[in-house]
A and B are shown apart, each in its own frame.
Chain A
Amino acid sequence: MSRAFTARLLSPASGAGRGAVLAVIAAMSALSVFTLAGWFGASALSTAWRTDGTNVVTVELPRSTSGSAPADSVPALIEILSHQPGLAEVSLLPAGEATRLMEPWLGNGSDLALSLPVIITLTHSPSVSLEQISQIVHDKAPDAVIEENALWGDRLAMLGTSLQLCAAIATALAAVTCALVLAVSVVTGLAARRRAVVLLHELGATDGLIAGRIALQGGLTALAGALCGASLAFPALVFLFQATAPFRLGAAGTTDTHWPSGLADWAASVVTLPAPLLWTLATLPLLISLSGWIAGQISARLWLRRLP
């Protein structure tokens, strides 16, 4: 059967019904664009938190009750740690910086009645364990407190993973909604065109032939809706990506948002999106189209089983 001929005879929905189906698929497609972007964002954050925090160790050396630092032990300890193989970036947190960090909880640093500990931070390679570092530090400063940031890194990574899971679930729900809407549309269309479908069946059309034509229409409808939704969502995604620039680039020291000045700038900023995200967004309409085709096949074949 020619495609135009069967498209006329077996279109899953027509008129207002088809418009509503397209609108729902477009909305679900736009939602998927944002949830997928969220998935990639959460993945990047999770990776950053895990790698940045895992190998950092903080050593706290309590001050004496008079508030004086253990003057002899600190430089010696830094010297020892700096020359240990597998340890790097051993640095003393300046007292002013420590006071500034504690300000939100303890008030102005100059008024502090509490003596803050001396803090040394260092990073270590995976070959050096926390126990080895602890032994080195405690030999020189028995009352030192050693804290590994990996614990926080792991917790943040877990948070990132749960955010990814939420995004994946939202994407899956959007895909299921698309498939269900198309399935309902196909069944409604078949019921409305029952006479034509029954006649094709009586003339010897196989279930595969009828379902194939219906699924093709379903797939094309889903593709059209997905392309509309993705096209509408993409500029908003680029805008949001630009808005999060200070957050993403904070580690590099950039804290100001640099908004593109013209259309060409905006177009150029598209390439700053991560390549895996761009590829995923490019395949999204095809995946939604495939889900529409599958929904068309399954719902049409189930409906046709009613016929002898």
Chain B
Amino acid sequence: MIFLENIQLRHGGTRRNPGATILRNVSLSVPDGAFRWLTGPSGAGKSSLLSLLHLSMRPAAGRMEIFGVAPDRASRGRLARMRRRIGLIPQDYRLLGELSVLDNVVLPLRIARQSERDSLREARAILDWLGLDGREDVLPDRLSGGERQRVAIARALVTRPDLLLADEPTNALGEEQARGLIGLFQHLAHSGATVIVATHNATLLRDFPARTFALDGGHIREETPDP
């Protein structure tokens, strides 16, 4: 369950000179196992909202709960454990250039101290599913944009997260792959994971109808009902 109430988010700044406000009075709630779209023009605050939900940013004001826990009251160790339950597909992929594709994908499992053998097996399986078999030992710099995006997707899915946050996950994918990916996300939501996908893609929004949060100027302009 995700619960936000009157959230304000600022970027940078100091105590005397607060930074620019990115999110203003954002309130929303998403139950477990729900699939939600997040739309809005460029600069509306979609990525920032996803970063906030990923516990990578702290709100300046408002109330927030994820997995029933208020992050501002949680210890740093608890926040780290909560982050392990969240899969993030960032728009800029955030792959480590010095690590191979396989090492990038297996990284969250190593952090979670899963056995090396199981981790490698799961990472290889998901890379196969995403059509990256045979590319395990390649460094990310040698991959195309679409391949890098698929590596980032694999890294987010390999831990089977309880909350999946995807920021324009289909940007560099072909139409068929994009449809297959959103189908997978909806399947994950049916299995109990909460999925929030930020996108501009009107075709996907039309073909995969779901409740949508429309962000504009840092606040939620519209929340469409369940179809």
A-to-B contact residues, CB < 8 Å: 1-2, 5, 8-9, 195-196, 199-209, 308
- A195 CB contacts on chain B under 8 angstroms: 94, 96
Per-residue 0/1 for B51-89: is the Cβ within 8 Å of any A Cβ (1 yes, 0 no)? 000111110000000000000000011011111100010
**CA A140 – CA B227 in complex, angstroms?**
124
* Among candidates A8, A203, A207, A308, residue contacting B111 with C-beta atoms closer than 8 Å: A203
* Among candidates B57, B84, B99, B116, residue contacting A203 with C-beta atoms closer than 8 Å: B84
Interface of B: prevailing SS: helix
A205-B111 CB under 8 A given contacts A308-B55, A308-B57 = yes
**CA A172 – CA B55 in complex, angstroms?**
42
B148 to chain A, nearest CB (A): 14
Please state if A204 and B112 are interface contacts (CB–CB under 8 Å).
yes
B161 to chain A, nearest CB (A): 10
11 contacts between A and B (CB under 8 A): A1-B110, A9-B96, A9-B98, A196-B96, A199-B107, A202-B88, A203-B84, A205-B111, A206-B80, A206-B81, A209-B111
Please state if B112 and A308 are interface contacts (CB–CB under 8 Å).
no
A1-B76 CB under 8 A given contacts A202-B83, A308-B57 = no
A2-B112 CB under 8 A given contacts A9-B98, A206-B77, A308-B57 = no
**CA A8 – CA B97 in complex, angstroms?**
12
Please state if B111 and A204 are interface contacts (CB–CB under 8 Å).
yes
Q: Which of A9, A195, A203, A207 has the largest number of chain B CB atoms within 10 A?
A: A203
**CA A308 – CA B110 in complex, angstroms?**
21
Please state if A207 and B76 are interface contacts (CB–CB under 8 Å).
yes
- B79 CB contacts on chain A under 8 angstroms: 308
B207 to chain A, nearest CB (A): 31
Please state if B76 and A206 are interface contacts (CB–CB under 8 Å).
yes
A6's closest neighbor in chain B, by CB?
A: B110
- B81 CB contacts on chain A under 8 angstroms: 204, 206
A252 to chain B, nearest CB (A): 63
A290 to chain B, nearest CB (A): 25
